Structure 1
């Protein structure tokens, strides 16, 4: 019997599906695997000395998981090094922040080999393997080396960079060649597919065929966009929970009649938080009549504190938030509430619902499920307005948001002003269109479309017998 095997860097299905933070990957994969009775394989998040290669299996939140421990060197070189100091900034168009060391590259290859060797005995002859994200790009190649003939797909949750950006990475050609060990390579947006195809054609001499089929390195693969969504039905149900209601009422009381702008992000330089704060400062400077009548709540969950770029970002945001409050706050009004802690998914649902403006303004983002959660949380009779970066993958679908250039403080400031003064009729029209998209392009469709495409041989996709 065919199973779906999902492989990702971390295996972290929530024990309580109602609990989560601003991310969406764990919620999305858990929903898919519970329905398909599949297996989720990956790193436990723990390190052991020395490395043993031992694996443990358990059931968490209705999902069967297989966990592999790594050693401290693996964590430093593979995860903190190549994944987060090299690939993450590069793929988010920040080559100035890329830290490349040969030991990072070696650690990345070593851990992908360990994943392949440990996963191999778990693979049945009819299983479908779905590898997730930038941490594990070479895994398909390592499985093929060990004789795996199963259909293997890969999905990239973050942006794929333009070829001139990618070419700054040492051994970039080998990284792309490893992508051709998969049968299907999925991206969040058509823009990402075009960037990948552009590199394959111009730098790898690939031939482009019909239906997104690309031939290079002696293999034919298919590259296609599969925009990820949320579990809209489950999220709407979460809104009715006791915890969501409590946080909604708490926020309304805290607002004291003021308009609330809301940002919910991981603390990361790709999220455009500095630019967002600066745009808010511009809004305050240009609209003194708004003083005392609105505030920005920015929830920025700390992450990757061991990486210098994140430590530096946190310091700059602390200074900038202090500067804005120092310049504009009064004894009974704080214009910027800046919070560095995580909230449960049901708590966030209540907070989203209370916000008049949802600010989702990353400088680069694969999709950004916060944008979709914000829309799903709104009151249909009095919905808020989504202000969305043109560089978020979600902008390709959510065209009835107010689309902005996050690098322009004036653009973002004016969009917020427009959203705050938008008539109810227009807000409802925009929300209805956005919500239809959230419901239609949900996590089930993402899963079903990808898996169906992965199961279908290229010859059939192209209409060839």
Structure 2
């Protein structure tokens, strides 16, 4: 069996595993690497004025971990610049926040070339290379130019936008051409796949066959939709263990019998947090019986704190939470609990299990694993209700959720009211259909599906 080489912006080492911070994706990728033997390569997360020329190496069992530092200039242009101020907002349909800079694009290309050059000495002829996400789109193209002929796959964890949106990117053709240097492209949903195929047909003048084969830019490759999932059994275990943990007990006691609506999101403008707070305020305005009887807890760990748009979002959220609390709070009840901090996955699973409603309402999301984790964390005898944005990839799978339009505050308020009033029998029925899906389609199955497809392409 060929070695597996995983390339991602950040690398999860066994050191992270000991701290309990690894998510389901990292656990699944780690298992695949340990089964086949291989290497995980990426940025160390460190920024140094004079980065070492030689990557840092760490080996555990059959897996090697190789990481490189970035210079301040590389970090600013590659990571903060083109990746997170151009590709991220564009892919999430936020053209108003998209910054187009040739300097940042040059930095993006430069860092990908640097990473390819540093990965090259570690590659063996029969390796299978699996590259992850929008930070590293040019990686295969850079490796091909260096003479690499290994099988290479790419998975995009965020949405691929409609043609009219993607064409706003000045170098859109270069990006798609680089995508076609891979042998396998994986997208989260059929919608994302269709958007990419539309570009190939209309802009690239390529061909898309019924079996997913693409002919474009002189290359033959396969593209498919492979919806990622969570580590279902592990979330169930976490939720059961955390049900009586100290933090969960404290939360339960603080609620004093009130119903909990919960949101868990990285602090990002794509998550629809401001719209969520406004919808909750609308719930309290239009359905006054909920006053004093429900609590919304929003957990939003800060991210990309050196990007101005994120600082501005944090200020707006604090203002909106203060507005709702100022309008409706009583001396013994605050309607919104806004926590700008993170918790371990185990503790979060206990919080999710406690919540009557899971509020997952991004303006746009590739998949959104919190939606799946909320379902997995529920008590089968008394499950809560998932309220889910129709613009999240998970909405195409979780058919027991209440689908909402995050731009419609009154519609979301109505859905919150429906969820809070939903009878037990209906809650169980909705939950069971979703949980059965997550039992059979967990992150391990996803990982095996994608890597197995890449192996079959090699055999062909």
Q: So what's the TM-score if we normalise by structure 1?
A: 0.95
1:368 equivalent in structure 2: 368
Equivalents in 2 of 1:277, 1:138: separation in Å? 38
1:322 positional shift: 0.4
**CA shift for structure 1 position 56:** 1.3
The equivalent of 1:359 in structure 2 is: 359
Please list every run of 5 or more consecutive structure 2 residues that lacks an aligned counterpart in the other structure. none
Q: Matched residues in 1 for 2:323 and 2:242: separation?
A: 37
Residue 21 (structure 2) pairs with residue 20 (structure 1): yes
Note if contact 1:205-1:216 (Cα within 8 Å) is conserved in structure 2.
yes
In the alignment, what sits opposite 2:40? 40
Alignment of 1:114-263 (within 5 A): 114-241=114-241, 245-263=245-263
Which residue is 1:381 aligned to? 381
1:244 and 1:176 map into 2 onto residues whose CA distance is 50
Post-superposition Cα deviations, 1:416-458, rounded to whole Å, max 9, x if no partner, equal 1111111111111111111111111111111111111111238
How many Å separate the matches in 2 of 1:59 and 1:173? 39
1:265 aligned partner: 265
Could you tell me which residue of structure 2 aligns to residue 80 of structure 1?
Answer: 80
SS of 2:12's equivalent in the other structure is coil
The 5-angstrom pairing of residues 373-412 of structure 1 reads: 373-412=373-412
Measured in 2, the distance between the counterparts of 1:35 and 1:68 equals: 25
Cα separation, 2, equivalents of 1:99 and 1:362: 21
Counterpart CA distance in 1 for 2:243 and 2:4 is: 33
Cα deviation for residue 244 of structure 1 reads: 6.8
Between the aligned partners of 2:309 and 2:91, the Cα distance in structure 1 is 15
> How far did 1:203 drift?
0.5
- The answer to whether the 8 A contact 2:24-2:443 is kept is no
Task: Report the Cα offset of residue 240 of structure 1.
Answer: 3.8
Cα shift readout 1:135-169 (whole Å, capped 9, x = no counterpart): 00000100111111110000000000111111111
CA distance in 2, matches of 1:443, 1:114: 31
- Alignment RMSD: 1.8
CA offsets, 1:25-79, max 9 Å, x none? 4344334434443321000011223344311111479953111111111001000
Rounded Cα–Cα distance in structure 1 between residues aligned with 2:264 and 2:165:
28
- Is the Cα contact below 8 Å between 1:244 and 1:348 reproduced in 2? no
3-state SS, counterpart of residue 115 of structure 1:
helix
Tell me which residue corresponds to 1:463: none
Shift in Å, 1:210: 2.8
Alpha carbons 1:16, 1:61 under 8 Å: kept: no
Q: Does the 8 Å contact 1:15/1:61 carry over to 2?
A: no
Secondary structure, counterpart of 1:15 in structure 2:
helix
Q: Say whether 1:329 aligns with 2:329.
A: yes
Q: Could you give the per-residue CA deviations for residues 207-266 of structure 1, whole angstroms, max 9, x where no partner exists?
A: 111311111100111110011111112222223436973333222112110000000000
1:243 to 1:30, Cα distance in 2 relative to 1, 3 A? farther
Match of 1:90 in 2: 90
Paired residues of 2:387 and 2:416 also in contact (CA < 8 A): yes
5+ residue gaps in structure 1? 461-465
User: 1:18–1:346: 8 Å Cα contact kept in structure 2?
Assistant: no
Taking structure 2 as the reference length, what is the TM-score of the superposition?
0.96
Aligned length: 459
Q: Equivalents in 1 of 2:459, 2:31: separation in Å?
A: 31
Tell me the alpha carbon deviations over residues 278-312 of structure 1, each in whole angstroms, 9 at most, x when there is no partner: 11011000011110000100001100111111011
Distance 2:252 2:312 in 1: 34
Is 1:435 aligned to residue 435 of structure 2? yes
CA distance in 2, matches of 1:67, 1:317: 36
| 1:383 Cα deviation after fit | 0.3
Distance 1:243 1:66 in 2: 38
Q: Tell me how far 1:99 sits from its aligned partner.
A: 1.1
CA contact (8 A) 1:140 1:182 kept: yes
